[in-house]
Amino acid sequence: MTRLQATNTESLILRPVLEADADAIWRIHSDPKTNKYNPSGPMVDPQRAHVQAREWAADWSSHQIGYWAVEERAHPGHVVGFGGIHIAEWRGSHVYNLYYRLAPSVWGRGYATQIIDAAVGEWRKLSTDIPLIAYTTADNLPSQRTAEKGGLRRHFELDAVHDTYTDVVFALGLD
């Protein structure tokens, strides 16, 4: 039994990612609209979705935590996104990475905020000294506003300038 299992928000079912979610990963992550701010662009190889599903599902076995598959409570069984927290190596340190990506059909419903609120709540339950990090590009203002709504604090000193974009960093647990 893993430490974190499915949880509900006001509108969502958040459950551990399964290998069977590969098609949903492909559908959402290959959509150019969901990658507007992603410097890497959309997923281009359907096999990558299968690898991603295996990796995300394995996180639950290895770390007892990982990203959730997101379903609407009104439409259970249909994945509309992915998000949550995942243990990761970031700039030479272990962190919990906060992530979400939702299908365009559900944008504007407050789901990203619900995912972040649930993820931050689960991170707080971990009683860990491992920080929670969310990073996005400087031009992704919607994601930045959502991180701030979730209580994460902007860390300008951690921003990273790359050739074609700038990563901006929000975090909890760095103070």
| Average pLDDT per block of 10 residues along the chain, 175 residues long | 71 97 98 93 96 95 91 97 94 93 96 96 89 94 94 93 90 89
Angle at the Cα of 63 from the Cα atoms of 16 and 85, rounded to 5 degrees:
55
Q: pLDDT value at position 6?
A: 83
Q: pLDDT value at position 128?
A: 80
What pTM did the predictor assign? Answer: 0.92
Q: How many helices (H) and strands (E) does the chain have?
A: 4, 9
Q: Domain map of the chain by residue range?
A: 7-132
Rounded alpha-carbon distances, angstroms, from residue 142 to 10, 39, 110, 113, 138 = 21, 16, 11, 11, 10
Q: pLDDT value at position 16?
A: 96
CATH architecture of 7-132: 3-Layer(aba) Sandwich (3.40)
Q: pLDDT value at position 117?
A: 96
